[in-house]
């Protein structure tokens, strides 16, 4: 199975990360001597599952995108619309991985592990989850938001894999969830009170979560438990920046960059 990829890189650097880097766009924030987007594209292009890549971002990222044989489309102010814009720039024949540009720790190996599970499991929407124990053991001191299920305590990843043909049925419910994200009463009415109660009491199972998501979105949704934690680490606050910058400064990937080693593109 080959995957096309949409990388979301259109967020302006006007939030908490503005205190650590003055780049206009978050995707261009310097991490260990390189724009954050470059780390992400390097791993995606090196994955054996990746075919075409579209970066949804401003003109300033187009040169970096071109280095990894990726095209660029201009972003809107709407997350779901940006996913649509990215998918519109692809063939529509392959499953699509939608990734954010703020996950510089990802590697081709971690991606291949996730994508291989998607390829071997029937479904139309795949969402990665990582156990709290694995994430905190690998990256001591990391701070993430977790959900406790009957199966364990997990955080979500920052890449989803979907069949582009289900986007129309998916986006109506997605917009409702985004609209009501700060209104607990309305959010519960969409998700279901029984599901919310089970989640709050730690009684919800992964299987039940998959079934409810499948009904909500009108598709077959699957949660994929990963044994590589990198996909669960995004950079959205200064403490994330400091941790990830330190990790990559010490990594072999950084050493290769300093020696001028470049990815051999297909």
- Does residue 99 lie in a domain region? yes
Q: Could you give the angle at the alpha carbon of 235 between the alpha carbons of 229 and 241, nearest 5°?
A: 105
Mean per-residue pLDDT for 92-100?
95
Where in the sequence is the domain holding 240, given as residue range(s)?
3-167+220-258
- Does residue 173 lie in a domain region? no
Higher per-residue pLDDT: 117 or 254: 117
Query: Which band of pLDDT confidence, cut at 50, 70 and 90, is reported for residue 266?
Result: very low
Write down the pLDDT at residue 262: 47
Taking the C-alpha atoms of residue 137 and residue 145, their distance in angstroms, rounded to an integer, is 16
The proportion of the chain whose per-residue pLDDT surpasses 70, expressed as a percent, equals 93
Taking the C-alpha atoms of residue 134 and residue 149, their distance in angstroms, rounded to an integer, is 16
Q: What is the pLDDT of residues 97-151, one digit of tens each?
A: 999 999 999 999 999 999 999 999 999 999 999 999 999 999 988 889 899 999 9
Write down the pLDDT at residue 171: 83
- Does residue 62 lie in a domain region? yes
Q: What is the pLDDT of residues 35-61, one digit of tens each?
A: 999 999 999 999 999 999 999 999 999
Number of independent structural domains in the chain: 1
Are 89 and 54 spatial neighbours (Cβ–Cβ below 8 Å)? yes
The whole-model pTM stands at 0.90
Higher per-residue pLDDT: 42 or 183: 42
- Does residue 197 lie in a domain region? no
- Does residue 194 lie in a domain region? no
User: The CATH number of the domain where 11 resides is what?
Assistant: 3.90.550.10
Mean per-residue pLDDT for 172-188?
73
Mean pLDDT, rounded, of the chain: 90
Mean per-residue pLDDT for 198-221?
92
- Does residue 54 lie in a domain region? yes
- Does residue 210 lie in a domain region? no
- Does residue 202 lie in a domain region? no
């Amino acid at each position: 199975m080959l995957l096309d990829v949409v990388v979301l890189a259109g967020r302006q650097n006007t939030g908490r990360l503005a205190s650590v880097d003055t780049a206009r766009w978050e995707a261009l924030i310097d991490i260990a001597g390189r724009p954050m987007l470059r780390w992400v594209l390097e791993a995606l292009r090196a994955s054996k599952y990746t075919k075409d890549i579209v970066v949804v971002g401003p003109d300033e990222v187009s040169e970096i995108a071109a280095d990894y044989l990726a095209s660029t489309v201009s972003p809107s102010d709407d997350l779901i619309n940006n996913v649509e814009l990215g998918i519109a720039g692809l063939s529509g024949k392959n499953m699509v991985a939608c990734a954010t540009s703020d996950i510089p720790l990802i590697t081709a190996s971690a991606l291949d592990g996730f994508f291989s599970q998607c390829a071997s499991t029937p479904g139309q929407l795949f969402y990665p989850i990582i156990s709290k124990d694995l994430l905190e053991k690998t990256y001591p001191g990391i701070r993430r938001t977790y959900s406790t299920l009957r199966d364990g305590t997990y955080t979500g990843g920052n890449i989803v894999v979907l069949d582009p043909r289900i986007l129309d049925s998916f986006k109506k419910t997605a917009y409702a969830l985004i609209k009501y994200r700060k209104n607990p009463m309305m959010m519960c009415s969409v998700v279901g009170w029984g599901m919310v109660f089970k989640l709050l009491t730690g009684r919800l199972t992964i299987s039940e979560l998959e079934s409810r998501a499948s009904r909500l979105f009108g598709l077959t949704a699957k949660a994929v438990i990963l044994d590589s934690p990198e996909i669960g680490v995004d950079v959205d606050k200064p403490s994330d920046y400091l941790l990830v910058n330190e990790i990559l400064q010490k990594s072999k990937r950084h050493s290769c960059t300093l020696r001028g080693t470049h990815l051999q593109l297909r």
